[in-house]
Amino acid sequence: MKTINHYDGISHTFVICAYQRSVYLEACIQSILRQSVRSSVCIATSTPNEHIRNMAVKYRLPLFINGAEEGKTVSENTDQEDSADQNARGNQGQSADQEAPGDQRHPADQKAPGDQRQPADQKAPGNQKQPADQKRPGKGIAADWNFACSCAATPLVTLAHQDDIYCRDYTKSILAALNRCRHPLIAFTDYCELRDGKTVRSNRLLNVKRLLLLPLRIEHFWGSRFVRRRILSLGSAICCPSVTLVRPNLPFPVFKNNMRSNIDWQAWAELSGLKGEFAYVPGIGMKHRIHGDSTTSDLLEKNERKQEDMMVYRMFWPEWAARILERFYQTAEHSNRTDGDQ
């Protein structure tokens, strides 16, 4: 398929969704800053704390805080924290997960295209006194993701989950796929898992998802609503942090705040009915970390995921068929447990 669009790094933003005090946040940031095609990067959080602020200062990333005050969005200009940044720069060559040994180059001191945008709201005095890990009542993951989408000033936005690692050519491959679309909705890549610091490229769940996505290896089917909906009617085949959203072509908000784990699957199911393309890159573009503190692992332990799976299956199937599919999918999905099958 020939080039139709002309998206480049200036068109794209990584918004890193940070929560509480993840020990993996820095490795995520470093993998994004090492992309072969550079784009804008910022951090969004609803749980501001010293750890997140230090990471934003160290790597000179804008930090957007959701819910710092009722009805307000706060942006902290981390570029002004010169002394903290000077102290941090000496450690920039090392990644927490050692994902790129020997890579001493770090683009933290160079502004990514589009980072010169001014914050929408001025910093409100006193907001830094908010408790570090305070949870906002009545809010949820969907609200945080929708907020993160709104932090980007570019048409393309990737919601990077703080625990994950992006392969060096993720942005390059996404842009190439989007530039072959007439009216792209989302673009996404295949992925692998990180378990206990080790890369897992194949297990039951990953193989089931790749099988479901097989038709989208044919670019002609990217724009087929029938094919996309058949895929999503069988399972949550699209890995959320691998997705880049084409915001001008999507409704807002993208995510509904009625679930904890299947927010993304529900969103892709609804977007699959729109006119446009789901661009799929079959190469592995990122590494999704599986660990005991993740929301998905927690929900599987509590069996709450089963209820949410049924909610999505009912969007496509009658009750009896939804129950059969849910039972099959749960069997594969149990590999997401931290002690799951490899």
Q: Which domains does the chain have, with CATH numbers?
A: 9-336 (3.90.550.10)
Closest among 316, 155, 116 to 244, alpha carbons compared = 155
pLDDT at 332: 64
CB-based contacts of 195, cutoff 8 Å, min separation 6: 289, 290, 291, 338, 342
Asked if 280 and 217 count as a contact pair (C-beta separation under 8 A), the reply is yes
pLDDT at 327: 83
CB-based contacts of 67, cutoff 8 Å, min separation 6: 46, 136, 139
Give whole-number Cα distances, 341 to 50, 244, 259, in Å.
37, 29, 26
pLDDT at 139: 73
Give whole-number Cα distances, 259 to 70, 134, 137, 268, 290, in Å.
23, 20, 15, 14, 20
**Whole-prediction pTM:** 0.78
Most distant CA atoms of the chain, gap in Å: 62
pLDDT at 307: 85
pLDDT at 99: 42
Say how far apart CA 342 and CA 325 lie, in whole Å. 22
CB-based contacts of 22, cutoff 8 Å, min separation 6: 162, 163
CA angle (222, 324, 231) in 5-degree steps? 0
Give whole-number Cα distances, 236 to 210, 239, 241, 313, in Å.
11, 8, 13, 10
Asked if 312 and 265 count as a contact pair (C-beta separation under 8 A), the reply is yes
φ, ψ for residue 193 (rounded to 5)? -115, 155
Say how far apart CA 313 and CA 300 lie, in whole Å. 17
pLDDT at 335: 55
**Could you count the other beta carbons within 10 Å of the beta carbon of residue 127?**
14
Average pLDDT for runs of 10 along the chain of length 342: 86 97 96 98 96 97 79 54 36 38 38 40 36 45 95 98 97 98 98 94 93 97 98 95 98 92 95 98 96 58 75 92 84 57 36
For strands 63-69 and 40-45, give the pairing. parallel
Closest among 51, 62, 54 to 16, alpha carbons compared = 62
pLDDT at 75: 64
The HSE-up count of residue 92 (CA atoms within 13 Å, CB side) is 23
